[in-house]
Amino acid sequence: MKKVAFYTLGCKVNQYETEAMGELFEKAGYQVVDNETGADVYVINTCTVTSLGDRKSRQLIRRAKKENPNAIIAVVGCYSQTAPEEVSNIEGVNIILGTNDRNMIVEYVEKFRDANERIYAVKDIMQIREFEEMTIGEIKGKTRAFLKIQEGCNQYCTYCIIPYARGPIRSRKPEDIVKEVHRLAENGFKEVVLTGIHVASYGKDLDEGSLLEVLKAIHPIEGIERIRLSSLEPTLISEDFVIEISKLRKMCPHFHLSLQSGCDETLKRMNRKYTTAEYREKVALLRKHLPDVSITTDVMVGFPGETGEEFEKTYEFVKEISFSQIHVFKYSPRKGTPAAKYKQQVRAEVKNQRSEKLIALASEDARKYNERFINTRRQVLFEVASHEYEEYYEGLTENYIRVFCKFEESPEGKIKSVLLTEVMGDGLRGSFVGEKESL
């Protein structure tokens, strides 16, 4: 049996697409193996959000060729979409595919096998208008299912390469989303996470259907007990939206609202579509209607022109909001974006100092949020045996608190009722108190 291995970099969307490509190979008679086993075909699903993503992509291409010099190397995804010539110059690459036509990956591999001629199949992504259906029938070894419902982005933030890598927004048809959630439920999944490149844009390119309507359509599906949304733009949040969400008992009270900066001047240079006052209002709406809600975010430091005063505004705003988790990252110039040409680029040592200061605040706020739930009983979907703490299993509450708990038998893939007792690492220790009854 022919073997295929995958290297996947980047976001949950990339991970979903890798799962879908793996299933296509299996249907064609391939065995999907891990990276260390040795394969006949290597698919490197690349990321280009940062220059580090580009570098890691190149390293993985070379590693795959080293593992089996005779293997077919297919490079797909955002890096090959935005820099196909760079990928072409890497020795050993046989197939170059961008962020469309991934559903033809097996055909391209077989075509190369027959002709032994490099295949260059990168299309002009800006001309693509249809959502590429990449269905997953079975996700192996996982407890939460990530479901891609949307592709592309029309926002054009000045620092971001993704609109050029993924093209304009395309939404998956609601009926296809519902069908896949049914399949996931049949495979035993308890939680589904709706993801995409810009989920808040879902439905804007369709004649009918909205994100809220999709949530209402999948909510009654038997077997699914949790529905979670991936990263959202604050502009999606309105009082009507939050009120309707609060009526859906399967909806997890966890919202990842992208912030990027807590300074209006910086947000304007970033071409973000909201102000800090508007962001504050959205957070207040969520906390008004969902008392235990977890609000997580991303914050960028060192954007071109960010002065010490602007950073302090961000720091104070983040402190005011008090997020339950923050992903802090340093600005990285991306060739082809407006911000890469901006003057007043911030020095690396200044970025590092600002990053460390925000990370310390984020850690403090995360601990404070978690401590609110000590001595409360929560439902936890357990995922894996903990790598940090021997004899413990770990999982997530509905509001995204990581919980560590001991069990005599593996609880993986099951929702258990747990009493949260004390801080443990970046989460909470819990003790099992009962089985969770299905909704």
Using DSSP's 3-state secondary structure scheme, residue 379 falls into strand
- Whether the per-residue pLDDT at 438 is higher than 60: the answer is no
Q: By the 8 A CB rule, do 429 and 373 touch?
A: no
Provide the pLDDT confidence category of residue 37 given band limits of 50, 70 and 90: confident
**Integer-rounded Cα radius of gyration of the chain:** 22
Domains defined for the chain, CATH in brackets: 3-123 (3.40.50.12160), 377-435 (2.40.50.140)
Burial grade of 173 (CB within 10 A; 0-12, 13-18, 19 or more): middle
Q: HSE-up of 128 (CA within 13 Å, CB side)?
A: 24
Q: By the 8 A CB rule, do 7 and 44 touch?
A: yes
Tell me the per-residue pLDDT of 102-133, one tens digit each, with 9 for 90 and over: 999 999 999 999 999 999 999 999 999 999 98
Exposed e or buried b per residue across 44-64, where buried means at least 16 C-beta atoms within 10 angstroms of its C-beta = bbbbbbbeebbebbbebbeeb
Beta bridge partners of 227: 192, 251
Q: Which residue has the tokens 């959202």?
A: 232
Measured distance CA(402)–CA(430) in Å, rounded: 10
Sign of the CA dihedral 145, 201, 155, 305? negative
Q: Pick from 144, 182, 225: which is nearest to 394 by CA? A: 144
Residue 274: count other Cβ atoms within 10 Å of its Cβ. 19
Q: By the 8 A CB rule, do 45 and 76 touch?
A: yes
Measured distance CA(123)–CA(130) in Å, rounded: 13
Please tell me the pTM assigned to this model: 0.91
Tell me the per-residue pLDDT of 46-80, one tens digit each, with 9 for 90 and over: 999 888 889 999 999 999 999 999 999 999 999 99
Provide the pLDDT confidence category of residue 439 given band limits of 50, 70 and 90: very low
Measured distance CA(341)–CA(338) in Å, rounded: 6
Burial grade of 34 (CB within 10 A; 0-12, 13-18, 19 or more): exposed
pLDDT score at 144: 87
Which stretch of 36-40, 149-153, 208-212, 386-390 has the lowest confidence by average pLDDT?
A: 36-40
Q: HSE-up of 315 (CA within 13 Å, CB side)?
A: 17
For 238, the token pair is 């309105």
Q: By the 8 A CB rule, do 305 and 338 touch?
A: no
Tell me the per-residue pLDDT of 402-429, one tens digit each, with 9 for 90 and over: 999 999 999 999 999 999 999 999 999 9
Q: By the 8 A CB rule, do 419 and 411 touch?
A: no
Using DSSP's 3-state secondary structure scheme, residue 421 falls into strand
Using DSSP's 3-state secondary structure scheme, residue 170 falls into strand
Measured distance CA(167)–CA(32) in Å, rounded: 29
351: Cβ contacts below 8 Å, ≥ 6 apart = 301, 302, 330, 331
For 62, the token pair is 């070379």
Backbone angles phi, psi at 44, to 5 degrees: -105, 110
Tell me the per-residue pLDDT of 336-346, one tens digit each, with 9 for 90 and over: 999 999 999 99
Q: Quote the Cα angle for 51-79-57, to 5°.
A: 65
Tell me the per-residue pLDDT of 276-325, one tens digit each, with 9 for 90 and over: 999 999 999 999 999 899 999 999 999 999 999 999 999 999 999 999 99
